[in-house]
Amino acid sequence: MTYYNKKRTGSKVNSAILEYIKEIVPQEDILLDEPMSRHTTFRLGGEAKCLLKIKDKGQLVKLIPYLQITGQDYYILGNGSNLLVGDKGYSGFIVKLDGSMGSASISDRRMTVPAGMLLSKAAAIAREHSLTGMEFASGIPGTVGGGIVMNAGAYGGEMRQIVESVEVMDWKGEILVLDNETMEFGYRTSVIKNRPFIVLETVLKLQTGNRVEIDAKTEELSVRRREKQPLEFPSAGSTFKRPEGYYAGKLIMEAGLRGFSIGGAQVSDKHCGFIVNTGGATAADVRKVIEEVQKRVEEKFGVRLEREIIFLGDF
């Protein structure tokens, strides 16, 4: 999921910059020429010039201002679950918030969760403590931070329903706490989509529930996902936002695009709102399928489908 992408020109990784970064990030967490297929749910994409695994927010406080001041391209990465990286890769720094970046804590029905934690793990922790309200997130493949940025949701639930506050950092390294109202949550958006903030952690306000009922609800949603979504193939989840008054999958199906493919990229036979990697797809294949779907749906229905998936790097 995307957090913040500050795009500049002239970004190159050089030895002087790497030497400085080694003072902030351990050598084993600095990966040069790293295949992004290892870091996206599409399981494809070219190499990142440099990927940095961040395991402590103190590292971010030092790293981000430095990258800004030195004019480097960088991209904040969670689980890569709504990201398509070009086949030619990305020439800047991928700053990946590692899943080990802190642990969850619970006090009086409030759960404080680090941004790098998977939503599914956070939902499991809530369930273990008989806290309800997060069942909808149990099958969402992204991280907590990415889920907050895009107000992730499923089956009638959204992050805005459970977020009490969000700790963020700006590009200067200053840390702020935003309450739910300040977050300006909307359909697949939040204030962070258009502001230079990086999510560090969040406080979720949940309710005491019945563990048996929570387990049953979680299993019910899991079954629905398996029945309706092409989980057997790599994808980035729902490819398009829901157009007002329509459903993207239905429009795509009615445009005759069920099973439409280019190379190894295909409009899912199971759910037309998903574009999947059936094996051997390139990022260019996926992008072409997306653009063809947008073109045909607009020609037939006059509706322009807006991508949920983010394009990064060179195709």
Token pair 């990286």 in the structure block, residue: 85
> Could you say which DSSP state residue 94 is in?
E
Catalytic one among 238, 268, 287, 307? 238
Specify the DSSP element, H or E, that contains 203.
strand 197-205
State which amino acid sits at residue 308.
E
Q: Give burial (CB, 10 Å; 0-12/13-18/19+) of 170.
A: middle
Give dist(CA 292, CA 65) in Å, integer: 40
DSSP state letters, 244-266: TTS-HHHHHHHTT-TT-EETTEE
Q: Is 211 a catalytic residue?
A: no
167 a catalytic residue: no
SS3 breakdown of the chain: % helix, strand, coil, rounded to 5? 30, 30, 40
Pairwise CA distance, residues 132 & 172, whole Å: 37
**Rama region for 225: left / alpha / beta (φ>0; ψ in -120 to 50; rest):** alpha
Quote the CA–CA distance of 163 and 186 in Å, as a whole number. 13
Give, for 125, the enclosing helix (H) or strand (E).
helix 119-128
Which member of 188, 190, 268, 287 is catalytic? Answer: 188
Active site residue 238: yes
> Which residue among 34, 47, 135, 308 is the active-site one?
308
Which residue numbers are catalytic?
188, 238, 308
